[in-house]
Structure 1
Amino acid sequence: MKKLLLLLLGGIAYAQPNMGNPNDLSACDTNSDGYTVFDLTLNDVTILNGLNSNDYTVSYHQTSTDADNGLNAIPGPANYTNNVALLQTIYARLTENGDSSNYAVAYFTINAALPPVINTPEDLIAYSNTVDLTANNAQILDDLNSQEYSVTFHTTETSAYVATPQISTPETYNALNGETVWVRVENIETGCFSVASMVIYITSHAPTGVNEQYFNEGETISVLEAEGENIQWYESTESDTPLPLTTSLVDNTTYYATQTVDGMESMERFAVTALMTLGLEEQLFQSLSYYPNPVSNILTLSNANTISNVEVYNLLGQKVVANNFSNTEIQIDLSNLETGIYMVKVSSQETQKTIRIQKQ
């Protein structure tokens, strides 16, 4: 907005010069500290408003008082660093060279525009050489309005900073495995921008199969099955060293498979948990528990499957206690037994399991 002054000299009113309304200026604050360099002289032509620059002088000032009085003009206005962070008012004075009392003053703002805050792009994982670079746009922009920012892609960091050349067809870019692509996000209004990079990985799909597989004691990783080509097994999702096929399987352990197609090993891995096949005894008594041990009087036994019979033997092989049951939790009175070690035979569905207890 232009501020006009009327000068009264000897009772005669003199109009001010027909000064143009200066434009607000923005410049990018590349280090985000609130300060940057402005070329105030970009407003010279607008302020002159068609007046001859040989007849009028444009000066810039940090206060309205200085502008009104023609004092403390900013030296080097083409390279002015703001002294108020982010947003500052600048006062322009247009003075007739032949008559310093004939002048006009207007003001405008200078804005140290911050570069856009963007997310670091996630690396792109593709299953062919034709890659859609724009797949990460929403993640990169996050809360930024896509109508206010342009996103371009570049093959070098230098080209990203100077904005050219850019990848012309980012939706169908022919990429190389492991290639780095640079992303430039620019504020359409201010021209301020940020640059980041992402890596493209071209890979195969992970193998498929059954996630829980059973094995017999003593078998190796070679018995595990995964559907795919050139399967390799690993001990974790991060391990770089394949496991030999002679690796012995460990019960309730998860192994990870990749496949390699056309020389490209899958980055994602298929997880298989190996479970040892239990015999009938292990299945029937898998949850068997007993307490206390050592025992003084009552021994309690608990099992997921029904306990049908319990027999107690001393170390001479003599049966000293025998009871029939039909429950999953039972109690045996051992108070009459002498102190020592005893073997307790527990029966369920005509299958037995023997445990060792101490009588005290």
Structure 2
Amino acid sequence: LTSREDEIIGGQTNVVVTFHPTSGDALGGQNAFPDPESYINTGNPQLIFVRVTSTLNGDWQVTTMDLEVLPTIATAPENIYVPDEDLDGFTEFDLTANEIAMIGGQDPINFIFSYFEAEADCEANMNQLLDPANYQNIANPQTLYVRVERLDNGCVFCESFDIETDASLGVESLLAETIAIYPNPTQNKITLQWDAAVQVERIAVYALDGKLITTQVVSQDSTSSFINLSETADGMYFIKISTQKGTLTEKIIKN
């Protein structure tokens, strides 16, 4: 409350300012708030009564001030997911898509939104993205930061959100369709066959605890291979197939 004292006294000296819950308290000089520097409002809006008393002759005057808490945002920004037609993990995002939901029906004219790649830049209001409605990601997924400034009360805050394409899901689905793994379950060996365009580079088998069981480097012109599991204990394993287009991981069973 004391942040308004200079405005209330208007340059006067030798005065004491106190804040009170009712007009009667202010008129009687009673029940002043003991900690006006850290006062927590009890209503929204709330009327506060202010008493200004001269330390020279005891004269006093009473005035009022209004307290009102204005919400900054209604909800944190949602993560943004965009389809990626060429499955390279990079595409354009409209970072402004969350703005209406964030302010929750408040007047957009009271807000300024800015977007940043680094949290420190968001806090310092530096290096903001110039075209947030057509932003191309530099990683997938990628964390970005939005700075929201409320013009009518000066409140500022930064929030993070993620952007991501469906490239990883798309690549996995594509590889699952073009790489055959059989038989599964198996008693001895697993055979793999794939289209020449896939270009498998490496095949590895892992135990459920992440321990590497076996690995195999695949020659560039190969379209098939097999993994010998005859000496491997029965159980479930993961087979990881690394290609030039991405990675496919599948469960296999040895029995």
- TM-score normalised by L of structure 2: 0.55
CA distance in 2, matches of 1:109, 1:125: 46
1:290-347 per-residue CA deviation (whole Å, 9 max, x = no partner) reads: xxxxxxxxxxxxxxxxxxxxxxxxxxxxxxxxxxxxxxxxxxxxxxxxxxxxxxxxxx
When structure 1 is superposed on structure 2, of 115-124 and 91-100 the one drifting more is 115-124
2:126 aligns to what? 165
Amino acid across the alignment from 2:21? Q
1:47 aligns to what? 8
CA distance in 1, matches of 2:62, 2:111: 35
SS in structure 2 at match of 1:143: coil
1:69-122 per-residue CA deviation (whole Å, 9 max, x = no partner) reads: 22232233222222x13322211111121211x211001111233332036424
Determine whether 1:197 maps to 2:160.
yes
Return the offset for 1:180: 0.7
CA distance in 2, matches of 1:141, 1:117: 5
Identity %: 23
- TM-score normalised by L of structure 1: 0.41
1:122-179 per-residue CA deviation (whole Å, 9 max, x = no partner) reads: 414275566442344345445343212222223344654x363352413454531311
| Contact 2:77–2:159 (8 Å) recurs in 1 | yes
1:61 aligns to what? 20
Using CA pairs below 8 Å that are at least 6 residues apart, which structure has the higher relative contact order? 2
CA RMSD in angstroms, aligned pairs only: 3.7
The answer for unaligned runs of 5 or more in structure 1 is: 1-39, 208-230, 235-240, 249-258, 266-360
SS in structure 1 at match of 2:176: coil
Summarize the Cα distance change of 1:143–1:197 in structure 2 as closer, same or farther, 3 Å threshold.
same
CA distance in 2, matches of 1:196, 1:264: 34
The answer for unaligned runs of 5 or more in structure 2 is: 85-89, 183-196, 199-243, 247-255
Q: How does 1:124-203 map to 2 (within 5 A)?
A: 124-125=81-82, 128=90, 131-138=93-100, 140-141=102-103, 143-157=105-119, 160=122, 162=123, 164-165=125-126, 167-169=128-130, 170-173=132-135, 175-176=137-138, 177-192=140-155, 195-202=158-165
CA distance in 1, matches of 2:104, 2:3: 34
1:88 aligns to what? 46
1:272-294 per-residue CA deviation (whole Å, 9 max, x = no partner) reads: xxxxxxxxxxxxxxxxxxxxxxx
CA distance in 2, matches of 1:167, 1:107: 41
CA distance in 2, matches of 1:95, 1:150: 41
Summarize the Cα distance change of 1:141–1:61 in structure 2 as closer, same or farther, 3 Å threshold.
closer
